[in-house]
Amino acid sequence: MRPEDLLCPSPKGLYSPAGDFYVDPVRAVPRALITHGHSDHARRGHGQVLATRETLDLMALRYGANFAGATQALAYGESVDINGVRVTAHPAGHVLGSAQMALDWRGLTIVASGDYKDAADPTCAPFAPVRCHVFISEATFGLPVFRHPDAAAETAKLVNSVGLFPERAHILGAYSLGKAQRMMALLRQAGHAAPLYVHGALTEITDYYEAKGMALGPIRPVKGVAKAELAGAIVIAPPMALTDVWTRNFPDPVTAFASGWMRVRARARQRGIELPLVVSDHADWDGLTASVAATGCEELWVTHGAEDALVHWAGTRGLRARPLHMVGYAEEDEDAQAAAEGEPPPAAAEGEAEAGAGDGAP
């Protein structure tokens, strides 16, 4: 009996030959376990979907009620049998409803963790390491340069900046599911009691968080608010909106961005961010390595991100590890980043043409 008989990589995502189901498949399949509601993990059009109640609700918000043929909710700690494979959901600490899926079959345990973080987050249940034989980990921030600082201290930077520039609006870019609501909660913990204004893309999900009992304080849609009223206000928007003409509606805005990528200066500069906040919903390097160790696993499989470094680290610990080279998983942050990197700067492209323009001169 090999672990691959229980779970193995396939072009559509992780597949269980024993249970005949997929975990976070990137294409439509008859039966899927979904770890969390981010669009790269939770796609529409599957036959049957097994996920936490929150993940199912968030998928319905995003895709409409008919996003799958049938759905089944699984609470944390609850198990269900699929063709002889026992599936149990455990909190992943990534966003509201995020779950690690533990698969037990003939005495073998594999944990597919989806995305996770071991740092505290007031908007979701804390990550709980699960003992297993094989642990499947992401490696979004799988390099030792990624060490996320205390989120409260990063949040304080934003609050202080509002104090220093009360005549300017602060636009905070934050991923619309999870990060945005976590920043709202962190701002409240930091004592910022004023209304928070939100971009239209955030309202439904934020309403859902509040309906689940999260107290996020006064939240107002920014649409229709007079420019002058936004002086000194914090406006939360999806990252893509930061570079949009939409930002012209604000008084001399300071653009902030909450993301683990902000750790590296060149990345923040590339995006023209003026106030980078290093706040991530993924585990940092210390978090990844500590979490892997805490599972007591005998083997580590790495799905997406900086696989090589994490695999190398495992090797130095005598832990068997392999990259799965899964494609199709990246946060929206990362997608935008990749697009930006693939494109030469406009000035350099012009410079090329310039060389030709000089021809024919004396």
Partner 1 sequence: MNRFAALLDRLAYEPRRNAKIRLMADYFRATPDPERGVALAALTGKLAFTNAKPGLIRTLIAERTDPVLFEMSYDYVGDLSETVALMWPAPPKAAPAANHPPFLSEIVEGLEVLPKRDLPGQLAQWLDGLDETGRWALLKLITGALRVGASARLAKTAVAALGDIPPDEVELVWPGLTMPYRELFAWVEGRAERPETLDPAPFRPVMLAHAVEDEGFGGLAAADFAAEWKWDGIRVQAVSGRSLEGERVTRLYSRTGEDLSAAFPDLVAALDFEGALDGELLVVREARVQSFNVLQQRLNRKTVTAKMLAEFPAHIRAYDLLTEGGEDLRPLPFRARRARLEALAARLIAGGHDRLDLSPMVPFASWEALAAARADPAGAGAGPDAAAVEGVMLKRWDTPYLPGRPKGPWWKWKRDPHTVDAVLMYAQRGHGKRSSYYSDYTFGVWTAGEDGDVLVPVGKAYFGFTDAELLEIDKFVRSATVNRFGPVREVLHAPDEGLVLEIAFEGLARSTRHKSGVAMRFPRVARLRWDKPPREADRLETLEALLRSEG
3-class secondary structure, 300: strand
Out of 226, 228, 266, 339, which residue is the one contacting partner 1 (CB under 8 A)? 266
Q: Is the dihedral of CA 121, 122, 124, 126 positive or negative?
A: positive
Residue placing its CB nearer to partner 1 in the complex, 30 or 315: 315
Judged by beta carbon distances under 5 to 8 A according to partner kind, the member of Zn ion, partner 1, none in contact with residue 38 is Zn ion
Residue placing its CB nearer to partner 1 in the complex, 107 or 346: 346
Residue placing its CB nearer to partner 1 in the complex, 110 or 256: 256
Kindly list the residues in this chain that would bind Zn ion in the complex (CB under 5 A). 38, 115, 329
Residue placing its CB nearer to partner 1 in the complex, 96 or 234: 234
Contacts with partner 1, 206-245, as mask; x by CB under 8 A: ----------------------------------------
For the bound state, the minimum distance from the C-beta of residue 58 to Zn ion, rounded and expressed in Å, comes to 11
* Under rule CB under 8 A, residue 362 binds partner 1: yes
Distance CA 228, CA 297 (A): 56
Q: Which of residues 300-359 bind partner 1 (CB under 8 A)?
A: 306, 308-309, 312-313, 316, 344-348, 350-355, 357-358
Out of 28, 73, 264, 330, which residue is the one contacting partner 1 (CB under 8 A)? 264
Contact 195/261 with Cβ under 8 angstroms?
A: no
Contact 141/94 with Cβ under 8 angstroms?
A: no
Residue placing its CB nearer to Zn ion in the complex, 57 or 115: 115
* Dihedral class, residue 249 (left if φ above 0, else alpha if ψ from -120 to 50, else beta): alpha
Residue placing its CB nearer to partner 1 in the complex, 191 or 358: 358
HSE of 86 in the Cβ direction (CA atoms, 13 Å)?
Answer: 10
For the bound state, the minimum distance from the C-beta of residue 348 to Zn ion, rounded and expressed in Å, comes to 32
Out of 120, 145, 152, 327, which residue is the one contacting partner 1 (CB under 8 A)? 145
For the bound state, the minimum distance from the C-beta of residue 251 to partner 1, rounded and expressed in Å, comes to 11
Give the H/E segment covering residue 146: none
Q: Buried (b) or exposed (e) across 332-355, using 16+ Cβ within 10 A?
A: bbbebbeeeeeeeeeeeeeeeeee
For the bound state, the minimum distance from the C-beta of residue 208 to partner 1, rounded and expressed in Å, comes to 33
Contact 73/51 with Cβ under 8 angstroms?
A: yes
Contact 82/103 with Cβ under 8 angstroms?
A: no
Among candidate residues 252, 255, 251, the one with its CA nearest the CA of residue 272: 255
Beta strand 85-91 pairing with 99-105 = antiparallel
Q: How many CB atoms lie within 10 A of CB 193?
A: 10
Total site size for partner 1, rule CB under 8 A: 43
Judged by beta carbon distances under 5 to 8 A according to partner kind, the member of Zn ion, partner 1, none in contact with residue 119 is none
Say if residue 266 is exposed, middle or buried (CB neighbours under 10 Å; 0-12, 13-18, 19+). exposed
* Under rule CB under 8 A, residue 273 binds partner 1: yes
Residue numbers of the site for partner 1 (CB under 8 A)? Answer: 143-147, 149, 157, 164-165, 248, 252, 263-266, 268-270, 273-276, 306, 308-309, 312-313, 316, 344-348, 350-355, 357-358, 361-362
